[in-house]
Amino acid sequence: MWLTSRREDRQPPEAAPGIGWWSRARHDAGNGAGGEAMKPTVRGSTLSAVLRSAVLGPQLRSRADIAQDTGLTKPTVSKLVEQLMAAGVLADGEAVSRGTGRPSTPLVLPPQGVVGIGVEIASDHLGVRAVDLRGATVDERRSLVPTLEEEPGATVDRTVALLLDVLSGVSGRAVSGVCVSVPGRLSVDRTTVLSAPNLSWTDVPLLSLLAGHPSLARHPALHAAPVTPLSVHNDSQLAAEFELSHRGDASFMYVFGETGIGGAIVIDGELYVGTNGWAGEIGHVAVEVGGARCRCGRRGCLEAHASYDALRSRADLGPDVPIHEVVDTLARRLGDRRAVIEMIGVPLGYALANTLNVLDLSTVVLGGYFAPIAGELEPVLHQVFRERALAEEHGQVRVGRAVDDAHPALSGATRTALDPVLNHTPEWIAAMAHDAGATLRP
C-alpha cells in the first residue's frame, strides 16, 4: 500500500522512462483554480506517453525511437505525433544520417511551443520563470525587495506584476499552468496559506488573491488550460520534487535551508505529505526546551537556532548579507569557522536524528544554504547521529548534498506547471484547438 502522496497515481507502464530533471513527470494536476483534475483515458495515457518520450529524455527522439520507448507500433506513434504537431506541441527537426538506411528525423519543440510558469514567493525575493517542455528557461524575472514586513496584498501585487512581465515575454505561447511556491503550511485544498512565519502570513487566501486579481482574473492564459492552470504548493516539497527527479525511486529526508528551515519526506520515490500536507516541517522540531523564540511563536525550534535568519541575528548582520554568504561572514565575525559549523550542525543533527528514528530512514539530503557546507556539516551530524540515530547503529546514515541549483523550489514549480500538458495531453490539445490564437493575449 502506497503512502499518501500528492501524486494520485504512479507513472503508467507505457510511459517513457526518461532521464534528467524532467524524467519524473507526475500524473496528477493537484488542486487549484480552473477545475478538478481530469481522469486520464487510455488514449490520453498513450498520447501523453508519446509526448513524454519525445521531450523528457536527454537526447532528441525520432518516431522510431518513441515506438521503441513506448512499445507502440510505428504507425500508431506517427498518428499520435501528427496530432501533437497539429497542436503546435512538437515539430520535425532536421533529418540526421545514422549511417546506412534512411535518415532519421528527430522531433523538436516549435519556436512558439508550450511553456510552464513557476512562481516563487520568499521572504527576501520574488521570482517568476517560464520554461519549455525540455526545461529550458524561456523568460525569467526577479525582484530582490524583501517581502517579510509587507502586507500580503502588496506582495501579491508585486508577484502579479512579475508574472505579467513573463506572460508578455512568452506572448503567443500556450501556458500549461502556473505553480506558486510559498514557504508555509497550506490548507488541505492548497488554497490558503495557514501559516508562513517568515512572511508574517496567517490564513492568507493566496489562490483566490491571485486568481481573482484584476490583472489576472480574465487573463486568457490562465483560463484556457483544461486542468489546474493555477496552483499553490509548499516550497520545500517542490524543492524535494526537483531533487527527486535526480535520484530515482529513493527514500530520503530532504532539508531545505532558507530564511527559515523546511523539509520534505520521500518514501520509495513518492513525496509523503501526511494527513494535512504538512509532513516534513522539520524547522519546527524542538531541539532545546525553553530555547530561543521562533518566528512561529514557540521556543526551541530548529529554525530558531540554525536558520539563516537566526544566524544573521546572532551575529548582528544586516539584511543585505546574501544567504549563501552568511556562514562565511559569521565565521569571519566570530573568528572560528568550526564553531559556526557546530552552531548549525548540532541542533540540525538532533532534529534529523529524531526524524530518522520516527520514519526509519537512513539518508539525508541537505539543500538550500546547507548544501554548500554539506561536507563540513557531515562529521558534526554523524557525531550527533552516533549518539541519537538508530540507523547509525547498523551503518552510517548517508548525508548527501542536494543538486546544484540556486532556486530549487522555483525549478520544482516550473516542473509542476507542466503537469497538465504532459499528463492530460488530449484535453490540452482540445483546449488549444478551441482557443487557437487567444490563449495568450496580455
The mean predicted confidence, pLDDT, of the chain is: 85
Average pLDDT over residues 169-181: 93
> How many whole angstroms from its chain centre is CA 263?
13
CATH architecture, domain 115-237+410-434: 2-Layer Sandwich (3.30)
Q: Where are the domains of the chain?
A: 115-237+410-434, 248-401
Q: Do domains 115-237+410-434 and 248-401 have the same CATH topology?
A: yes
pLDDT, greater one: 353 or 314: 353
Cβ proximity of 76 and 82 under 8 Å: no
pLDDT, greater one: 321 or 138: 138
pLDDT digit string (tens) for 69-98?
999 999 999 999 999 999 999 999 998 887
Q: How many angstroms separate the CA atoms of 305 and 303, rounded?
A: 5
C-alpha cell at 260: 527559515
Global pTM exceeds 0.75: yes
pLDDT of res. 225: 56
pLDDT of res. 429: 84
Select from 3.30.565.60, 3.40.1190.20, 3.40.50.150, 3.30.420.40 the CATH code of 248-401.
3.30.420.40
By C-alpha distance, which of 166, 165, 124, 181 is closest to 147? 124
Average pLDDT over residues 408-433: 89
Q: How many angstroms separate the CA atoms of 233 and 181, rounded?
A: 5
- The Cβ-side half-sphere exposure at 366, using a 13 Å CA radius, reads 21
pLDDT of res. 102: 80
pLDDT level of residue 442 (50, 70, 90 thresholds): very low
C-alpha cell at 238: 517542490
Indicate the range of 74-78, 101-105, 204-208, 337-341 predicted with least confidence. Answer: 101-105
Cβ proximity of 175 and 116 under 8 Å: yes
Q: How many angstroms separate the CA atoms of 179 and 168, rounded?
A: 17
Spatial CB neighbours of 223, under 8 Å, sequence gap ≥ 6:
34, 229
Indicate the range of 201-205, 260-264, 390-394 predicted with least confidence. Answer: 390-394
Cβ proximity of 340 and 317 under 8 Å: no
pLDDT at 116 over 50: yes
